[in-house]
Amino acid sequence: MADAAYWRGIKSDEPQGFWTGWVPTYPSASEYLGPLFECGSSANSTGVCDEALDDQIEAARTQQATDPAGANQAWTEIEHRLVEDAVWVPLTNPVTNYALSADVGNVQVNPMLGILFSQLWVR
């Protein structure tokens, strides 16, 4: 478990868990792990603040432009660290199913926007 400085801002008389959600602007690890766990981020509801973690996040962001596969591995290591420390425990990951007629074609689904109706054709 991380030391007390890791949990900056959390007091013993405050709730140690609560229900929250997050919708990123783009479906990538950087849109989840950065905003939710970096020191000083307005979306960091956990109170976690660790300069070494911030350095790992910044390195993964930088690596993303030149070595996406390496960056993916770096994001995975960051996520595993957070999971091992039980900083955040996801309860759900919503999945949307679409029932379409065989007369509908060119079905495209955007991970953020859902089904792209402007791309469909109907026979």
Q: What would the pLDDT profile of 57-97 be if each residue is shown by its tens digit? A: 999 999 999 999 999 999 999 999 888 887 777 777 677 88
Residues 50 and 100 in one domain: no
> What is the predicted pLDDT for the residue at 8?
55
Gap between the Cα atoms of 25 and 14, Å rounded? 30
Q: What is the average per-residue pLDDT within 20-32?
A: 80
DSSP per position, 58-120? HHHHHHHHH-HHHHHHHHHHHHHHHHHTT---------------TTEE---EETTTEE-GGG-
* Full domain range(s) for residue 121: 93-123
Mean pLDDT of the chain: 83
Residues 20 and 77 in one domain: yes
pLDDT surpassing 60 at residue 1: no
> What is the predicted pLDDT for the residue at 69?
94
pLDDT surpassing 80 at residue 4: no
The total number of structural domains in the chain stands at 2
> What is the predicted pLDDT for the residue at 82?
86
Residues 22 and 75 in one domain: yes
For 115, the 3-state DSSP assignment is: strand
Residues 63 and 103 in one domain: no
Higher pLDDT, 83 or 102: 102
Q: What is the pTM of this model?
A: 0.63
Residues 80 and 97 in one domain: no
Residues 61 and 103 in one domain: no
Residues 74 and 106 in one domain: no
Residues 23 and 47 in one domain: yes
